[in-house]
Amino acid sequence: MSHYDVGVVHRVRPLSAGNRRAPKVIVHADKGTFLLKRRPRGREDMARVVFAHAVQRHLALQSFPVTNLLTVTRPSASGAGADNKTILTIDNHIYELFKFVTGSRYDVSLEATFEAGRQLAVLHKALRSFSPEYEPLMDSFHDSSTVRQHLRMIRRDHRSGPVRLMEAVSNSLLIRYDKSSERINRLGFNTWKRQVVHGDWHPGNLLFVDRKIVGVVDFDSIRIAPPVTDLANGMLQFSIIGDHPDPNFWPDHFDEGRLMHFLNGYRDLTAVSKRQLNALVDLMIETMIAEAVLPVAATGFFGHLSGLAFLRMILRKTKWLRHHRAELTEATLR
């Protein structure tokens, strides 16, 4: 903390949130309350962090509710702090210090859901004019060879349960992923305009006051992709129902009211083409499979949950989306 101009530090307490490999603490000091984050050792590309910070500064200049990054006033030995004013490097770790934002979590209300969709559109509009100084990550969850590779890897993974069950689930997910990718490609995905997108727009990354967003956090997944990928992921994240500690008891269906309110909030500011509206359900299927399979392939678990149980729940939900694709798409086209 001596590298920042915050005055005397009075108290430091841990914050259990987000990626466990990126620990965070809340710092109470003379000049306010701050959030200090340490990125995982050896896992970060400095250029990508510089890019993320540039995006956040660009958004802040346009009055978008990002959490303010603090400037490093005393450079680290590596000199990174001097070159990149908001990045501190010590012992091969990258540190970031943010002004702490007080807010509440998403309350699942339709009003907050509409606001989440609308603010995503505000973000996309603000980033249309942003030109990155280097080529950032261009990949997305759509038609991804990485997703397919991980689905094949877990076929023989015995860490979460019987191999034959893992094989059956992974094969079924791969079939659904391939079919959704094919339908999206036929709708012209490769011709859709690309720009910087958030990449991880979900309730845990938003802070609310009176159901209005006052803080957007976690720009670690920003990338270049069609904005509709952010929209589909948001529709998924804000409509999925999983209110039981055991994913075996999660229902197959989604909250259709929240799904449509998120979409309508987005369309309150930004038009979505008919082809992209027709692709939304399949994009939701793709992103749901991609987000589930990558951690399961790495650890055998999804967080603390059994990988097999979680993937079986994902399979049930993708089946529900497939069976209701026509009516959901019809609703989006109104």
Is there a contact between 65 and 214 (Cβ–Cβ < 8 Å)?
Answer: yes
Q: Are residues 55 and 172 in the same domain?
A: no
Q: Are residues 119 and 202 in the same domain?
A: yes
Is pLDDT above 80 for 310?
Answer: yes
User: Looking at 78, 99, 120, which one is the last position of a domain?
Assistant: 99
Q: How many domains does the chain have?
A: 2
Query: With bands split at pLDDT 50, 70 and 90, how would you rate the model's confidence at 248?
Result: very high
Same domain, yes or no: 62 and 151: no
Domain containing 215 — which CATH number? Answer: 3.90.1200.10
Residue 1 placed within a domain: no
CATH of the domain at 61: 3.30.200.20
pLDDT tier, 76 (very low <50, low <70, confident <90, very high otherwise): low
Do 149 and 267 lie in one domain? The reply is yes
Q: Is residue 121 part of a domain?
A: yes
Range of the domain at 64: 9-99
79 with 169: CB under 8 angstroms?
no
Domain termination residue (choose one: 37, 65, 99): 99
Q: Is 162 left (phi over 0), alpha (psi -120 to 50) or beta?
A: beta
Whether 193 is in a domain gets the answer: yes
In a shared domain, residues 308 and 285: yes
On whether both 153 and 85 belong to a single domain, the answer is no
Q: What is the pLDDT of residue 211?
A: 97
179 with 328, same domain: the answer is yes
pLDDT at 42: 58
Note the helical H segments in the chain: 46-61, 80-83, 110-127, 145-153, 163-186, 227-237, 256-267, 274-299, 307-323, 325-332
**Beta bridge partners of residue 206, listed in sequence order:** 216
pLDDT at position 80 over 80: no
**Within-domain flag for 2:** no
Is 105 contained in some domain?
A: no
Residue after which a domain boundary falls, among 58, 75, 99: 99
Write out pLDDT tens, residues 143-168.
999 999 999 999 888 887 788 999 99
